[in-house]
Amino acid sequence: MSAVCQWAWLGRVEYGAALALQHALLAARAEGRIPDTLLLLEHPPVITLGRRAALADVRATPAALAARGIAVQFTNRGGLVTYHGPGQLVGYPIAALRPLTGGDVVRYVTGLEEVMCRLLTALGVAAQRDAQHHGVWVGAEKIGAVGVAVSRGVTMHGFALNLQPALDHFTLIVPCGLPGRGVTSVARLTGRTIPLPEAAATAARLFGAVFDRAMAAVPAAVLWSTVEAEDVHVRTIREPAGGAEL
């Protein structure tokens, strides 16, 4: 029988709040108090810099970013610089890595890429992995990014898939440190706007298929209660139950 992985659609959540939630859930998972957990959400506009990132990969000045309402956040994930914003589906699996992939980080990253590829296929977009660069690509343009971290044997951070984000925001950075590559989205390729809650439900199902997990939907409040139990104080952006307007 497949192990259970709980999941929830959280709507639009500030990056710092989501990071605090991940840390609280990671501690709970490492101590065996919760099962594997998949967070699905979107962020307000934010540029994040991973462990290998350089500020030179941010093309805009702090003042210019602030004028456009774009935050900047240093984080502990792998990878370089990326952008998150409304219309991008973000997935953060909080999972014990050894039961999931035998402890194989490369297999885990490849699995996240496979989840995105299958979701894109369901949306009518043919995408593939690149042998030299992580993520998911349509030709030479990136449509899905992966950046993970592992602590106490438990994963955090994850993937980001461009459904209908503001693509012009990506011009403010050198995405993933690759100046010769472009960025695209499902909306740009198909002309369709995808409801994020529906895409999240499909992503959860595909995560279960790729990693052999029995997916169980839970209310978002159940996961936020873990933060309260860990006495972590965060601020979230509350959205209607159906998700943020794009």
203-227 per-position pLDDT tens digit: 999 999 999 999 999 999 999 988 7
Q: Which CATH class is domain 3-229?
A: alpha beta
Annotated catalytic, 117?
no
User: Does pTM top 0.85 for this prediction?
Assistant: yes
- Residue 179's pLDDT is 60
- Residue 241's pLDDT is 31
Distance (Å, whole) CA 132 – CA 199: 28
Report whether pLDDT(230) > 80. Answer: no
Residue 87 Rama label (left phi>0; alpha psi -120 to 50; beta): left
Which is the catalytic residue, given 27, 28, 173, 176?
Answer: 176
CB 6 within 8 A of CB 35: yes
Distance (Å, whole) CA 236 – CA 49: 21
